[in-house]
Amino acid sequence: MDFRLVYNKYFRHARSYEGYLWDLNCGPIGGFEETFYDAIILRRSEGLFIDAGACYGAWAMRASRYYSTTIAFEPHDQTYSLLKRNLQINKIKNVIALNLALSDRAGESSIYLYPSPGTHSIYSEHLGLKSTNQTQTVQTSKLDDYSFKQPVSMIKVDTEGAELEVLRGAMKTIRKYKPRLAIETHFPDHSGKIRLMLPQYNWKSLSQYLWSESPDDGSTGSFH
C-alpha cells in the first residue's frame, strides 16, 4: 500500500496524545481524569468494560488494553462519529461503539447541546454551565435489557448528570455481576443518592467520581 495514502487517511488529520491518535476535530483532550485512569482501569479482565458516556473514547481506548471487550455508549451523533474515528485510527478492534444513551428506559430522549461536546446533557444547566438551548433527540436503552456472553467486570458512568437514570436501568446487571464502578457525579445530591442505591459498595471519592471495587473484593453491605 502507498504510505502516502495511509498518511493522508489516518495521520494527517490526527494528533498524538498520551500514546493514542485523536481526530483533529475532537475538542480538548485530557483533564483531571487522567490522574486516576490507570488506578481505576489497570486490572486485566476477561470480562466486559461498560463505558456509559464514552465521548471521544479516552476511557474506552485505555480499557481496550485490559478488558477482553469494551462496549462504549455515546448518544451524540457527531461525538459518536469521532469516537468511531478514534477507534479506527488506533486500530482498536475490541471496542463496540453504540450510538445510544444508557438510561432507565428504552425509547427516545432529548439532550441539551453545550459548546463543548463532552458536556451535552439531559439538563439545560449543570456544573455551572449553560447550554446553547439547542437540543438533539437521542435513542435510549437500559443496560438491563442486554444479554451478555461475558461477565460485566466494570461500569464507568460519565453522563453529564444522568448517572441516576443509568444506574436505575442497570440494577439487575449490577446485582448479577457485582462489577467495579466509577461514576462521575454532576449534582451535589447525586453522590448521596448513589450511596443509598448501592449501599453494598464501599465508595471512595476521586475528584468528581465515586469509585468502588466489587463488593466481592472486600466491601460490606448487602442488596435490598
Q: What is the pLDDT of residues 94-153, one digit of tens each?
A: 999 999 989 999 998 877 776 666 655 555 555 555 555 777 788 889 999 999 999 999
Q: What is the rounded average pLDDT for all residues in the chain?
A: 79
C-alpha cell recorded at residue 88: 479506527
62-81 confidence digits (pLDDT tens):
899 899 999 999 988 888 99
Helices (H) and strands (E) in the chain, counts: 7, 14
Find the mean pLDDT for residues 179-207. Answer: 87
C-alpha cell recorded at residue 131: 447550554
- Tell me the CATH number for domain 35-214: 3.40.50.150
Q: How far apart are CA 201 and CA 223, in angstroms?
A: 10
9 three-state secondary structure: helix
* Contact (CB, 8 A) for 59 and 51: yes
Percent of the chain topping pLDDT 70: 71
Domains of the chain: which residue ranges? 35-214
